[in-house]
Amino acid sequence: MEGKKIKILCLHGFGMNAKSMEMLLDPVVQRNKSFVDFYFIDGAHHEKHSKEVRLWWQAIPDKNQTQPKQQFNLEGLEKSVEVVEKFDKEHGPFDGVIGFSQGAALAAIIIAYASVGRTPIKFKFALFVGGYLPNSQNLSEWRDSEKILFNVPSIHVYGKEDTIIVWKTSEKFSRMYSNPIVNFHPLGHIFPLASDDLKLYETFFKSQYQLITSPSKL
């Protein structure tokens, strides 16, 4: 493909960083770099023992919760949203987002915030791997809904043997999106990169590229 490229923001998981996410996604980047520019960003926070171990928030048990299921305060979340907004302003606007684990949750939160005007970021499509919406009181208006909430083209990838983000959590999350594409694989908490997975991502990105760069959209 020639001409304009689309931009995709890549959000790493808990304990990773921009560099490790870039290394992980190298097969995706190499396969789609002719029409996609991929951007990687470090989590806004880091563990005390290492600045290389990045995260988007710390989940602290909510002592004032009113629901029987454990809820969490996402300590540092708003700072992370601000950091992504600044990055979007400097390097975007980004057309799409790839999120893995906690990065997928951050992408989901930003899309939720955008739906009510709480952020200027407007992702047109999303790829969630191990995706979920955290169990936080601040997100309950979306998390507790049984309706389709977001008209954002999306792929949802989750594993049957995932013990970190159990597949039923990701499956419920996928139902918040209209016409979600689901890749339910037999493995655990991984970012699948087999040939069939890479083809799925490429096909999805190409379809979004065509929609975004069509003459009527320019």
pLDDT tens-digit profile of 104-125? 999 999 999 999 999 999 999 9
pLDDT tens-digit profile of 164-176? 999 999 999 999 9
Residue 68's pLDDT is 47
Return the closest-CA partner of residue 28 out of 155, 203, 198.
Answer: 198
> Among 2-6, 7-11, 31-35, 193-197, which is the least confidently predicted range?
2-6
Sequence-distant (6+) residues with CB within 8 A of 41 are 9, 10, 11, 18, 83, 84, 87
